[in-house]
Amino acid sequence: MSNSADSTRPRAARTTAWLLGGALILVAAVFLWVAYGPAGADRRALETASEASRNQAGEAVGRLVTAAHEGALTDARINRAMGLSTAEVRSIRRLDSAIVVTAEVHAVTSGAFGTLSADPCYEYDITLPVRNESSINFHEIPSCQT
């Protein structure tokens, strides 16, 4: 009888070791996923949204040129041109030979646990008269607060 009890102990010890090892691997995998998975996914999603907003900001230049060629570059035409590229005009300043437009460009994408948005601000320096796209320069600015 003691032989049979001795033979089951090593089997039970091996089974316990395998179960503990499996549990340890599972805990490590969950820890690594929580620590690096969502953060990396959110970072990549935010980069994608930022790139999309840059592309939309660039597309707005063409729309502004078209608006200028349609007639005077009024506030309404500027707002319409910028609105078509998901940009929200924050300010329009008219100078002697230029117009400076500040706009927030919205881009949304999916993240690990929901949606993420990139809403950078751009300043468009429009040299008058507008001949082509080289008449309009744009660059990202730190804030839309004027």
Structural domain contains residue 131: yes
Per-residue burial over 107-146, b if 16 or more Cβ lie within 10 Å, else e, is bebebeeeebebbbbbbbebeeebeeeebbebeeeeebee
Structural domain contains residue 133: yes
pTM (2 decimals)?
0.68
pLDDT of 141 reads: 93
Confidence check: pLDDT of 24 > 70 = yes
Structural domain contains residue 90: yes
Structural domain contains residue 14: yes
In which domain, by residue range, is 100 found?
Answer: 2-141
Q: Please give the tally of structural domains in the chain.
A: 1
Structural domain contains residue 56: yes
Structural domain contains residue 26: yes
Structural domain contains residue 82: yes
Structural domain contains residue 146: no
Residue 88 CB partners (closer than 8 Å, separation 6+): 82, 103, 104, 106
Average pLDDT, the chain: 84
Confidence check: pLDDT of 86 > 70 = yes
pLDDT of 7 reads: 61
